[in-house]
Structure 1
Amino acid sequence: MATTAEPRSEATTGPTKAKGWGTDAPDQPLRPMEFERRALRDDDVAIQITYAGICHSDLHTARNDWAGTQYPVIPGHEIVGKVTAVGSAVTRHRVGDTVAVGCMVDSCMACDQCLDGWEVFCREGCTQTYNSPDRRSGEITKGGYTDHIVVRDHFVCKVPDGMDEAKVAPLLCAGITTYSPLRQYGVGQGTKMAVVGLGGLGHMGVKLGVALGASVTIITTTPEKGEDARALGAEDVILSTDAAQMEAAATRFDFILNTVPVPHEIDGYLSLLGRSGRMVIVGALTQMPGFVGASLIWWNRAVGGSAIGGIPETQEMLDLCAEKGIYPEVEMIAMNEVNEAYERLLKNDVRYRFVIDMARGI
């Protein structure tokens, strides 16, 4: 809940010492680190982090799987906490507010994409929450596996009153990554929707699709996930390894959310789309195998991709989740358990998202 405390300006808040967990090299485990957060700028918000989600992207960046990691790196872009100070120009947030920060912390705020609320596609490139140069100082950003963070106020979202703060963090990546394409392509009442893959992204796709009124089916390679899928709200389950089930589902769906995080063939999934159906890929970031052109041309199908949404859409997603009581399924861990969590993540041994509880030590 917001307080009446006065904002603190850059002039009264200097650089601060921070503690976190990061790594020095792709083959090294995460370890405790100390570093300095910048002094508060006029448009900054300082946040004491209470919870931080663990995303596959954190693991990929820590291990330089996508190349470009600048070490030492401190991951974490699913952040929830309390405002401890605000710059002199900040009006949207007050000391004591519960707030959240996602995958980006700045952009030019002047190009057409930023002005349209799509800061993630800033023409000059958005500043990511970690492993990204600060627009003003050039310093490399450090993420949410830390005790506190300083972020430009526009990129700080409000956590609606009454939400379970411990479960909110994964919404800032897994939530908005799956919500954005559903909103962009009009998924709602009467939509026949399928979700490929039941992991951190997929389980949120099911929950959000159901909340928007869609009839949701899970497509998986794992029979054991059928019961979980139905518990999450899915009406049906299809095993993609069962040719008869796939054939029976031909042209059934209006929309397919593909959350598989590794390269894979998509022709079989495209056959499940009906006339003018669309598949949106949100999981795989590296090169995908080709597909047969007729899979698109026949039935007027389309395939595309989607990143996270902008800040307005992220706040809209949080508000919907608060209204509908939608949360990710989470497993709470202490900060010193992060390396074990990474190894379990590689084995898909989590249902369905790890969250670091900063109260359990950093």
Structure 2
Amino acid sequence: MFSSQAGGAGEEDKSAKFTGWAAVPGGNGVLQKWSYHPRPLAAEEVEIEISHCGVCGSDIHFSTEGWGPITRPAIPGHEIVGIVVKRGEDASHQIGDRVGVGCLVSCCRGTSVCDWCRKGEDQFCQNKTVTFSSPYKDGRGGISEGGFADRIRVYSDYAFKIPKEISSPEAASFFCAGITTYTPLKRYKAGPNTRLGVIGIGGLGHIALQWAAAMGCREIVAISGRDNKKDEAFRLGATKFINDKEQIKEAARSLDLCLCTNASHNNNWEEYLSMMAPLSQLVLLALPETPITFVGSHLVSQDVAIVGSHLGSKGDIDEMLEFAAKHGIRPWIEKRSFEDCNEAMKDVHAGKPRYRIVLEMNPSSSSTSTS
């Protein structure tokens, strides 16, 4: 089942133990050190020694049980970068490859392939497994564990080679924040004729502004509740900055496409919809924990669509990485030690980072920034 490079199966593989920082039932978002035995390495899988993992809002929603109760310890983290240290005989990567893992670790396997996987839209696969706290549906049992850990095993088609131009800590944020913002801009053909809005200039929004600038959008409007982000928004590619109700009124019917990256319960959907031009799309990327309410006439009178956008396909991820390498797009990050993951989670929850925190397994310094 394994090549000589795979490190062998047998007792050594059965005794393998990975250690990470897990969310626990009733833990109020505080992660605890926890170890588990991974599934045996399959022929198409690789084992990755993790060097970096980004901290995402989704990790916080999950760990604080904002998306529902946690029933068992579970390691979050889905912006993973590391080195392949073991491989199954049919894996597509070699020992030593530098790879990244995002929000999915498996889709349809074998001969029973769903329509979405056939279309190359595997993010909608009926049999997908997300990166943490998700049952595998490949017939081998087990539950996925995420990247706030020393190692992870995934199917090799969900481990993506990282272009040499992108450093490992910078690469991590592309595997959720990057692909989440890149996909809708690609799907809705953002370009020279697009007047684009980005609501929320944070972990997702600051990358969205860079994609838009590289795609040559006609106008790039940063919409933020924080005036102290204005200068940075322009550095990131914005051509206009909006942060009060009067400016929103002045921007009525001015956006062809708008990405909402803000999950706040304070979002004013009526105001956002007032900025949308006829035949435009307001795309939800963040996941608010409270219901979204708005008056239907905003949609009907202008033929405006509110749509969601869910990650991206394997092909989208490869394309995004090449695009980022070519155009010099990089997340602005702050590096922290994995041991400081709880403090990092608190800071992300409070909206402190400018603009993404990346956990580092062997940090050269306790806290450094890249922008």
Relative to the length of structure 1, the TM-score reads: 0.93
Aligned residue for 1:260? 262
CA offsets, 1:2-45, max 9 Å, x none?
xxx97427647724221211133332521222221222101101
Please, which of 220, 241, 247 is the counterpart of residue 216 of structure 1?
220
Please, which of 219, 237, 243 is the counterpart of residue 241 of structure 2?
237
**Cα separation, 1, equivalents of 2:82 and 2:161:** 10
Note if 1:172 corresponds to 2:175.
yes
Question: Per the alignment, in what secondary structure is the counterpart of residue 301 of structure 2?
Answer: helix
**Cα separation, 1, equivalents of 2:289 and 2:35:** 33
**Cα separation, 2, equivalents of 1:289 and 1:78:** 27
CA contact (8 A) 2:46 2:87 kept: yes
CA distance change for structure 1 residues 249 and 167 in 2, over 3 Å: closer, same or farther?
Answer: same
Note if 1:205 corresponds to 2:208.
yes
Could you tell me which runs of 5 or more consecutive residues in structure 1 were left unpaired when the two chains were aligned.
none
CA contact (8 A) 1:10 1:88 kept: no
**Cα separation, 2, equivalents of 1:307 and 1:238:** 26
**Cα separation, 2, equivalents of 1:220 and 1:343:** 21
**Cα separation, 2, equivalents of 1:32 and 1:293:** 48
Please, which of 354, 359, 363 is the counterpart of residue 360 of structure 1?
363
CA contact (8 A) 1:78 1:171 kept: yes
Question: Bigger shift: 97-106 or 278-287?
Answer: 278-287
* Cα offset, 1:202, TM superposition: 0.9
Question: Per the alignment, in what secondary structure is the counterpart of residue 37 of structure 1?
Answer: coil
CA contact (8 A) 1:9 1:88 kept: no
Could you tell me which runs of 5 or more consecutive residues in structure 2 were left unpaired when the two chains were aligned.
365-371
Aligned residue for 2:369? none
Question: Per the alignment, in what secondary structure is the counterpart of residue 300 of structure 1?
Answer: coil
Question: Per the alignment, in what secondary structure is the counterpart of residue 206 of structure 1?
Answer: helix
**Cα separation, 2, equivalents of 1:102 and 1:70:** 23
Aligned residue for 1:303? 306
Question: What amino acid is aligned across from residue 257 of structure 1 in structure 2?
Answer: L
* Cα offset, 1:316, TM superposition: 1.0
Question: What amino acid is aligned across from residue 129 of structure 1 in structure 2?
Answer: T
CA offsets, 1:151-184, max 9 Å, x none?
0111111111221112110110000111111111
CA contact (8 A) 1:130 1:140 kept: yes
Question: Bigger shift: 27-36 or 101-110?
Answer: 27-36
Question: Per the alignment, in what secondary structure is the counterpart of residue 180 of structure 1?
Answer: helix
Note if 1:145 corresponds to 2:145.
no
CA contact (8 A) 1:258 1:283 kept: yes
* Cα offset, 1:227, TM superposition: 1.1
**Cα separation, 1, equivalents of 2:190 and 2:69:** 35
Question: What amino acid is aligned across from residue 79 of structure 1 in structure 2?
Answer: I
**Cα separation, 2, equivalents of 1:130 and 1:56:** 14
CA contact (8 A) 1:37 1:150 kept: yes
CA offsets, 1:43-92, max 9 Å, x none?
101111110001111111112111143321111100001111211112x3
CA contact (8 A) 1:265 1:288 kept: no
Aligned residue for 1:227? 231
Question: Bigger shift: 68-77 or 167-176?
Answer: 68-77
Identity over aligned pairs, percent = 33
Question: Per the alignment, in what secondary structure is the counterpart of residue 227 of structure 2?
Answer: coil
**Cα separation, 1, equivalents of 2:131 and 2:308:** 22
Residues 27-176 of structure 1 mapped to structure 2, 5 A cutoff: 27=27, 29-90=30-91, 92-109=92-109, 110-124=113-127, 126-135=128-137, 136-176=139-179
CA contact (8 A) 1:10 1:87 kept: no
**Cα separation, 1, equivalents of 2:9 and 2:229:** 54
RMSD: 1.8
Question: Per the alignment, in what secondary structure is the counterpart of residue 311 of structure 2?
Answer: coil
Question: Per the alignment, in what secondary structure is the counterpart of residue 268 of structure 1?
Answer: helix
CA contact (8 A) 2:55 2:348 kept: no
CA distance change for structure 1 residues 153 and 261 in 2, over 3 Å: closer, same or farther?
Answer: same
Question: Bigger shift: 23-32 or 246-255?
Answer: 23-32
Aligned residue for 2:285? 282
**Cα separation, 1, equivalents of 2:141 and 2:4:** 30
Question: What amino acid is aligned across from residue 127 of structure 1 in structure 2?
Answer: T
Residues 183-194 of structure 1 mapped to structure 2, 5 A cutoff: 183-194=186-197
Question: Bigger shift: 15-24 or 48-57?
Answer: 15-24
Count of residues in correspondence between the two structures: 353
Aligned residue for 2:13? 14
Question: Bigger shift: 263-272 or 306-315?
Answer: 263-272
Question: Per the alignment, in what secondary structure is the counterpart of residue 216 of structure 1?
Answer: strand
Give the ranges of 4+ consecutive aligned residues of structure 1 lying more than 6 Å apart after TM superposition: none
Question: What amino acid is aligned across from residue 56 of structure 1 in structure 2?
Answer: G
**Cα separation, 1, equivalents of 2:192 and 2:8:** 48
Question: What amino acid is aligned across from residue 131 of structure 1 in structure 2?
Answer: S
CA contact (8 A) 2:79 2:174 kept: yes
**Cα separation, 1, equivalents of 2:301 and 2:23:** 49
Question: Bigger shift: 75-84 or 158-167?
Answer: 158-167
